[in-house]
Every structure is written in C-alpha cells, then in structure tokens.
C-alpha cells in the first residue's frame, strides 16, 4: 500500500507541477479578464434593452381573412414577425395567401 502511494506521487507529481507553468498562469489571468469583460458587456446589453412589462412582449397582432383558410390571427414582438406567422398559418392551411390582405395593429 505504501508503495502504491509513493508510486502515484511520483507519477502525478510532475503532472501537478505542469499546471503551474507561467503559460497556464497567463491563461488563467486571461480567462478571468474575459469573464469580467463578458459580465460588463452583459450589463450594457441589459441597459440597452427596453423594459417590457410581463405579458406585453407580444405587441403586434395581425389578422387575415382568407376564403379557403378562414380567419387567421398571430401575435409577435414585431409587425414583420406577426405578418410572417399569419402567412405561415395560411400556407399551412393551403389558403390563397397575399401579404396585402393582412391587417396589423400594435397594442399599447
């Protein structure tokens, strides 16, 4: 048992010292700096994002009344996204889908 411990110390000893090389220490410092930079950038992004109350993230609503597909409605954060959702629903129901037929409005 003692020999096993001594043998493992001899085999692992140089490996443990290899992790404390100057290159590894520089990499650790660089990782710490990058983490700080990421946190700083995350804070800046959060400051730039508009505060939307919960439940009001979907601000646009679009409606399409198609002869073959019927009445279709979609909510989204942007008008373009809501229009795209309505057109997608219409094409899934094999309707005659034209963007000019879509009516959109923005909620307050």
Q: Where are the domains of the chain?
A: 2-48, 60-106
pLDDT of residue 32: 92
Q: CB of 64 within 8 A of CB of 97?
A: yes
**CB distance 62 to 81 below 8 Å:** no
pTM of the model: 0.47
Give the pLDDT of residue 16.
Answer: 55
Q: Write down the pLDDT at residue 97.
A: 81
| Per-residue pLDDT, 85 | 92
**What are the residues whose beta carbons fall under 8 Å from the beta carbon of 96, sequence distance 6 or more?**
66, 67, 68, 69, 90
In the chain, which residues have pLDDT < 50?
none
DSSP-assigned letter for residue 107: -
Across 1-108, the runs of DSSP E, i.e. the strands, are: 60-66, 70-76, 103-106
The tokens describing 14, both together, are: 């140089």
């Amino acid at each position: 048992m003692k020999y096993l411990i001594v043998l493992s110390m001899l085999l692992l000893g140089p490996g443990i010292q290899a992790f404390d090389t100057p290159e590894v220490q520089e990499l650790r410092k660089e990782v710490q700096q990058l983490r700080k930079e990421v946190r700083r950038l995350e804070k800046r992004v959060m400051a730039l994002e508009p505060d939307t109350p919960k439940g009001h993230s979907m601000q646009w609503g679009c409606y399409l009344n198609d002869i073959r597909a019927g009445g279709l409605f979609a909510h989204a954060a942007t008008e373009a996204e809501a229009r795209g959702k309505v057109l997608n629903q219409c094409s899934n129901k094999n309707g005659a889908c034209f963007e000019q037929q879509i009516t959109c409005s923005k909620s307050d």
